[in-house]
Structure 1
């Protein structure tokens, strides 16, 4: 072979290993399309109420591509899938920012930052999955293929667990594990009482990985085993739904009424409209009294102005339940003594005579809306809250003491994080209440997502859950995640029903995210061993070493094969 031909081949080999080679050949363009398809399918599964079935196949296209991908190609595929999923699910972030700050560009910036976070998350996840695939080799032995499928599911669950912890630390918003797609399938989500939502994600990705492996290798021996395991989990879920009791306190169910005010977001904090707001809740309170409840639950910031002892309107609202002798739980802004513009976002247990006997102050504040962040692009107050208030993290654990036992409390976005509800149950909460105000959302998608997540907190803790949301969805949910009653969005309504007081602790309450932590440990070991194998020289078709970090047969092998055929010719 001449020097010029050698230089040409060397250039071709160098070009094939560059970043641009990911999308240049037609096959790789199809691989990127598969990553886009995975992102779209995952988004639809998580955001559409009738699209849960998509979650069982959503990741298959991307996983099939990873079998023939190196580390960086897999990272790029994952980044593409993450960006697409972010844009499809959280598009409303740009809309709500424009609504509150009159700047669509600022909303696009926030969405871009979120997209970058998800790109890194999924890119790293897919790259490590490709690494484990490479480490396991292309064995056709069923036992090794089964091990690979389990390791992929472990990696996925571990990354969701780590991602949720990270998002809770930096933003207190936006974690959305794949398991939430199954909120309408009670038998499937019962595994959350043991393994949390990450256990449901594990099952979903296990099925995706088995399908991808079978399609890629065209050998289907794994399918019956995975299907059998899934059916076993479903059987356990059905048995729990039908037979398992969470030790409800006998004869002590609590009659509950939920007030959904449907107050527009900006009207709620306009003091000139306080009479309208009070009239709406007094009307709903009268409807609630007619159902003879033990407890009436209001929404987050139902009284949006600071509570003052000499405020006659507040006093009237606090005593609205006196005719029915019912206690009530309501959200209100509570000023911190000694500060002029610092408040707690609080929840109060109020006796029928208007006396406040217990209080919880929200601890997980939403950045920019509740937690001030001073940036040059933000208002001088550092917040986009309509009232310009600065909220402070509360010091109290998440529960209220009441005549009906201890009640666990979550405020708005706090239901996104399993540890909050778990802590409530650990402190003796016998049922849960979530107070929220989703009036900020102009779209229905985030409201549906917010509601779906609450069902998992009920299953994980084994506690009946009451949701009081200003614009909906309000509901009463049993300890297995079944909806007893619910409201429609954007209507003012009074819901009524009963919740059971429960004391038994689920495995999840006792041990938390042990399953996800075990998955993380297994993943670390698997990735470490795979990296050792990945860095070993891999012989090419002539038996020569391809060098450390060689990729699976793709462009490099194509160039080498073409050269050998030309030399022979």
Structure 2
């Protein structure tokens, strides 16, 4: 009875159902809740079953994209107004622009599906349509991730909701977040078809997909756990220096000394247990690196006596004649000598780099107010450490699966994510940042340690287990152990190549059948 009422509701109130779907999908992403995601899209796909014109599909996609973007990007308004030294109007303008972009892309995605889907109701046609919907969804997610790598607020993936489940997230080891999205869309679409056609036997298919994904996840989890336990690599005892500096912090002659003393005090606390590695957060030091830096000399006085290496975020001057800098992570030996450096690759558009090109003027005054011009780094490879290659992801780079894949080619032994979520510490982005790290750890099959200023810091195992999690606005030093390994990950591009190839094949079949009908 309830399912029949749902079907009637979506027929009579189709756009209301689409709005409900957008709200539920947004909640699943905000909470990183895989249960809600398993049925959120049913309210979207049911109205699509009644669509007879491409124009109707465009409306459905546009409404879904606009509502979901409006909810997921609400943080832009208060964050820009508060931290970018800007007016409320600019925040609203950026929010509306994100709504327009995402709405347009979903409209295009649904128009493509409506144009390509098979019209008959045979078993084979229904299976093809379910695959086409899932593949189009993944292809458009991949396109958004590629186009907006520097603007993660335009490339939310529904698959991130699965990161809340240790076992359901394991499929990311084979196909990254895109496989998680593909399976979710398949589940929701087949549920929708069963409800729309009242063919209850079809309900077995989404249940079978979910059960298979769970069982496969259990097997993958225990398999990688066993492999990681037998690698024989020694652990890396690590101290996380959680400075918890608020974004309003100003380093000047009035409070600079107090801030330095605070950081040096944390450093003294970090070396007490004689760790192998001390990790600071991204841009914890607001000035550019210099070999004669007094602060670094004071830090190395404490580490040299304990034989602790340290990695911290610090800017690198591009040249002496400009304000251009690289956003970098420096790796030092215990005496303060630079052993290696990693520069940020994917800069945050409108925050670190101008819109459209590096020489443009369209940028929010988060950093530009200080006269800094951040450029894409010159040294983006993994860094060499005494414990093997370390793949470094700076801040939003943990949301880019392609970077993890590239670092894996450098034969990394573990991953490090240094970030600064001070600008967004009051919003759900900090939680998403942490769970993006979980997916990167599963994809690469490497331990990933996170030090995220005012965000969620901790350690995620190669298996996806959360080894440690800290989220506090108070300064502290936390201890974690990293276990390096040389387990070879699966390149997720193989999954994407398969999806692209199968989609092209289905579109050729669809075109051939249409041509055959027209010529008959």
CA–CA distance in 2 between the matches of 1:499 and 1:410? 16
Q: Is the 8 A contact 1:131 1:534 kept in 2?
A: no
Give the paired residue count.
503
Residue in structure 2 matched with residue 185 of structure 1 by the alignment:
165
Q: Is the 8 A contact 1:206 1:226 kept in 2?
A: yes
TM-score normalised over the length of structure 1? 0.83
Residue in structure 1 matched with residue 498 of structure 2 by the alignment:
518
Question: Which of 9, 31, 35 is 1:53 aligned to?
Answer: 35
Q: Secondary structure at the match of 1:183?
A: helix
Question: Which of 270, 283, 286 is 1:288 aligned to?
Answer: 270
Change (3 A) 1:36 1:229: closer
Q: For structure 1, list consecutive stretches of 5 or more residues without a partner in the other structure.
A: 1-25, 539-569
Question: Which of 177, 183, 193 is 1:197 aligned to?
Answer: 177
Change (3 A) 1:76 1:179: same
Q: Is the 8 A contact 1:278 1:317 kept in 2?
A: no
Computed over aligned residues only, the root mean square deviation of the Cα atoms, in angstroms, reads 2.4
1:189 positional shift:
0.9
Residues 303-344 of structure 1: per-residue CA shift (max 9 Å, x gap): 111223333233213444223211011000111233321111
Change (3 A) 1:378 1:495: closer
Residue in structure 2 matched with residue 418 of structure 1 by the alignment:
401
Bigger mean CA deviation after superposition, 519-528 or 491-500: 519-528
Residue in structure 2 matched with residue 166 of structure 1 by the alignment:
147
1:384 positional shift:
4.4
Correspondence list, 1:124-143, <5 A? 124-133=108-117, 135-139=118-122, 141=123, 143=124
Residue in structure 2 matched with residue 149 of structure 1 by the alignment:
130
Residues 151-209 of structure 1: per-residue CA shift (max 9 Å, x gap): 322221222112211112x6465422111001121111111111111011111111101
Q: Is the 8 A contact 1:383 1:390 kept in 2?
A: no
Bigger mean CA deviation after superposition, 526-535 or 75-84: 526-535
Correspondence list, 1:118-517, <5 A? 118-133=102-117, 135-139=118-122, 141=123, 143-168=124-149, 171=151, 174-244=154-224, 245-246=226-227, 249-267=231-249, 270=252, 272-373=254-355, 384-508=367-491, 512-517=492-497
Change (3 A) 1:534 1:79: farther
Change (3 A) 1:433 1:318: same
Q: Is the 8 A contact 2:10 2:47 kept in 1?
A: no
1:369 positional shift:
1.9
CA–CA distance in 1 between the matches of 2:509 and 2:100? 29
Q: Secondary structure at the match of 1:321?
A: helix
Q: Secondary structure at the match of 2:348?
A: coil
CA–CA distance in 1 between the matches of 2:517 and 2:426? 53
Bigger mean CA deviation after superposition, 427-436 or 307-316: 307-316
Q: Is the 8 A contact 2:191 2:206 kept in 1?
A: no
Q: Is the 8 A contact 1:304 1:333 kept in 2?
A: yes
Bigger mean CA deviation after superposition, 424-433 or 118-127: 118-127
1:377 positional shift:
7.1
CA–CA distance in 2 between the matches of 1:307 and 1:476? 27
Residues 351-393 of structure 1: per-residue CA shift (max 9 Å, x gap): 11111110111111112321135777768xx874442200111
Q: Larger radius of gyration, structure 1 or 2?
A: 1
Change (3 A) 1:218 1:212: same
1:285 positional shift:
1.8
TM-score normalised over the length of structure 2? 0.90
Residue in structure 2 matched with residue 109 of structure 1 by the alignment:
93
CA–CA distance in 2 between the matches of 1:87 and 1:524? 33
Q: Is the 8 A contact 2:233 2:485 kept in 1?
A: no
Q: Is the 8 A contact 1:173 1:366 kept in 2?
A: no
Q: Is the 8 A contact 1:155 1:519 kept in 2?
A: no
